[in-house]
Each structure stands twice: as C-alpha cells, then as structure tokens.
Structure 1
Amino acid sequence: MNQAATILVIDDEPQIRKFLRISLSSQGYKVLEAGTGTEGLSQAALNKPDLLVLDLGLPDMDGQDVLAQFREWSAVPVLVLSVRASEGEKVRALDSGANDYVTKPFGIQEFLARIRALLRQAPETGQVDSALVIGPLTIDLAYRRVLLDSVEVALTRKEYAVLAQLARHPGRVITQQQLLKDIWGPTHVDDTHYLRIVVGHLRQKLADDPAAPRFIVTEAGVGYRLVES
C-alpha cells in the first residue's frame, strides 16, 4: 500500500481529529473525518478508504457497533483508538474484526508506525462492494437497506440478517446450521423451523417464487444460496 492511502478518522473530539489530520497528512496520506458513527459508516461506504481509525466513545452509537457493521461489508484494516483500556474492551474489538488497538493518550510516532504496518499487511482488494444488485433487487449492506424495483422493503431484524448473510457470499451455499448459529446463536443450530419461517417471509416480501426462484435458492437438505448478480 503506497503513501497516498486514504485514512478515515472516526472520532467525536475535534482536537483529536485535527491532530491526526496534521500528523497523517504530513506523511502523505489523504485524511477523511467523521464525528459520529453514522457519518463514519456513510463516509466509508461512499469513499472506500484504505484504513479506518475508530474511536469507541461516539455520541450516536458505540464504536464496537460501528466496527461490527463495517465488518459486514469491508475487510480493510481498522485501528481502534480509544481511552477504554480494559482487556475486555480490547478483546471484544479484536474479536469483532479490529486489526490493532491503541489507547489514549498515545505517542504519535508509534501510532504512525502501526498505521504503516497495517497498510503493508492490507490486501489490495480489502474493500468489497457494499451493495449487491440482482436484477430488480438491491441489498445495501453499508446502509442496511433492501430495495425491490427501487422501493424499500421493510424487513424484520432476523429477515435482514438472513438476507445479508447470504448476500455476503453470493452464489455460495450457506448451511442451515451456519445461518442458525450466526443469527440465532449456537444453542439453536437444530431449530430449522425458525429458518424456514424467516426464509418464507423473505420470499413473500421479495415476490420470490420458491418453485422458480429469482433470488433465494433452496439446496435441499443443505441450506440456501443467493443467486449471483
């Protein structure tokens, strides 16, 4: 990754953003800024940065939730920069997909070295397309919206979770057990009727005929897959 990399700083403290903007710009990086989690996710979706610097104490949503939503559709490096120094917070962030964790106050030279290390390790195609289009159906993972013929479809939390999981792996079969484990939890891997009900509701809302599916295909006895765009 070259020195022209774009870095998005999501932090609610203007003085921290200014300090990081000056420090990172002096190293040749392009710097984007956001003061809230919602704005940060929007900036990430629109501008596709090469790395995120993420504070956890944001005014509108917890940074851990920002990280979880971002990881639904992007694999670019995330460096958490936070006053939260507990081991539990660090473990949770790293388990949720953060690549590094730096506590405030911090030394700028070490911070810049960690940025360089993350950019060296980053895959060239870490940023994936946040929106999947299958004919008249659009699944926007960044904004958590589903459109059919340009009209937004109202989905329940579980319905969206199932569709989003399939959308992250278009054309690939996701087993019933994997969907149940990821969405309902490991104690529900045998509750296949939960999944059948949700998929049935999804098909109704997407006008998807199970006998001749346009979107969701059932692989009998195995699981489901979303047709490729």
Structure 2
Amino acid sequence: MTSVLVVEDDDAIRAAVRRGLSDRGYAVAVAATGMAGLEHVIAEQPQTVLLDLGLPDVSGLTLISMIRAASAVPIIVITAQDDDPTMVKALDAGADDYVVKPFGTDQVAARIRAVLRRGGRSSDPSEPIRVGELVIDERARTASLAGDPLDLARKEFDLLLALANRAGEVVTKRELLSEVWQQAYGGADRTVDVHLSWLRRKLGETAAQPRYLISVRGVGVRLVDPGAEQAGAEGDA
C-alpha cells in the first residue's frame, strides 16, 4: 500500500483528499502545518508528499527545500497559485510535480503513480484497467482491444495509461506533457497530437470518427467506453 502524506492547512481540503485517496487504497497521513509535515517525513518516510504552499507556519517553498535536504521523497505541490513564476520556484526548490486547485482525486492519484514510476518506486498498480473492450495492464505494460493485443510503442502505452487512469475525464495536453513526457511547463502540443494520431490508428479509429479517444476542442482529450457513450446519447435523445 502506497503511503502518502498530505500537508494542507485547510480542514475541508485536507479531509477530502485524505478520504478520496484512502478510498483508492492509499495509506494517508495528514499534517496541518509545515513543521508537523517535516517531522512526519523524517520519522515515517512516506512514499509521496502532497504539499500546499500556503501554510500557516512556514512558506511552502521553504518547506520543499527543507524536505529535500532530509529526504528524496517525491513532492507534489497542491495549490491555488497557478502563476508560472511560482510553479518555476517550486520545481527549482525540488518539487516533482505541481497541481492547481481545484483538482479531482483521480488526477492526484495519477500524478502520484507518475512520480513513483519516474523514481523507480512501486506504486502498487491495481488490476488491469478496463474501458469497454479495451484492457490496459500497467504491471505487464500490455494492452488489448476485444481480446487482440495492441502493439504499442512505449510512449503510446504511457499515453493510453495516463488517459485510462482518468477514463471519462477530459485530460489537457499540458497534463499529458507533464505525466507522459515530463515536460510540465513547456513542450509542444504537437507531440501529444502526433502520438494521439498513432494511438487512434492502432485502436482502429480516426479523429473524424472516434470511438475511444474523444477530442474536446481547445481543452484536451478523454478516453471513453463507446458502449456507455452510445447508451448515454440514446438516453438523452
């Protein structure tokens, strides 16, 4: 079971994150202040830290440096501050990822899995993910469609897995660049577009006639169960 420390002074957000991650099988500890969080990191050595920047006793940016001096634990910043200078300062201080509030628990869980993969740590991948007739096995790094294996390149698989981890949700190209290509705050959207095109081809669909990969203009893409989408469309008709 992956252990996560949530350092967040807002009671409601702290409780919601704890509940959401616990429901997904994580062992979650919480701290309402920066120094309590630092003490927990040193004593308990969690596998991931979720860290708010607006803490009551110490700057979150300072705390990142303090944690980094004591531990190599992955740090994911969770904050309402979405300006580029703050993002850059957090990453330069030693943060591994940066998530802007409000966010969904599935997004945070995906970020946790991503930083653990990059660090070579076990993130307790769950059973294969099933979306319609599509099956993605993270542990074996295999995927199949209607029982037929898909011959996916490494980045194609990583892209499919990132979308499968948030099936039904719109995932932005910026988020995909961060998780799949580790280009958190830069990089070309064209990289994502090209790989989506290749992935669509292997799923037997096109952008003009999509089944699993639905583009949302100006936002991103979502992975869906075609059968569920069709049933929903008929129900709305």
Q: TM-score, normalised by structure 1?
A: 0.51
Q: Determine if contact 1:76/1:122 at 8 Å carries over to the other structure.
A: no
Q: Between Structure 1 and Structure 2, how many residues are aligned?
A: 122
Aligned to 2:74: 77
Partner of 2:172 in structure 1? Answer: none
In structure 2, which of residues 38, 41, 46 is the aligned counterpart of residue 41 of structure 1?
38
Q: In structure 2, the residue corresponding to 1:72 is in which secondary structure?
A: helix
Return 5+ residue gaps in structure 2 as ranges. Answer: 123-237
1:98 aligns with 2:95: yes
Identity %: 42
Residue of structure 2 in register with 1:159 after alignment = none
Question: Aligned Cα RMSD in Å?
Answer: 1.4
Aligned to 2:13: 16
Structure of greater relative contact order (alpha carbons < 8 Å, 6+ residues apart): 1
Deviations 1:161-200 (Å, cap 9, x if unpaired)?
Answer: xxxxxxxxxxxxxxxxxxxxxxxxxxxxxxxxxxxxxxxx
CA contact (8 A) 1:78 1:98 kept: yes
Q: Secondary structure at the match of 2:102?
A: coil
Q: Scaled by the length of structure 2, what TM-score is found?
A: 0.50
Who is 1:66 aligned against?
63
CA contact (8 A) 1:81 1:102 kept: yes
Distance 1:22 1:102 in 2: 18
Q: Aligned partners of 2:4 and 2:44: how far apart in 1?
A: 10
Q: What is the match of residue 173 of structure 2?
A: none
Q: Which has the larger radius of gyration?
A: 1
Q: Distance in 2 between matches of 1:5 and 1:18?
A: 18
- Counterparts in 2 of 1:113 and 1:124: CA distance versus 1, 3 Å: closer
More helix by share: 2
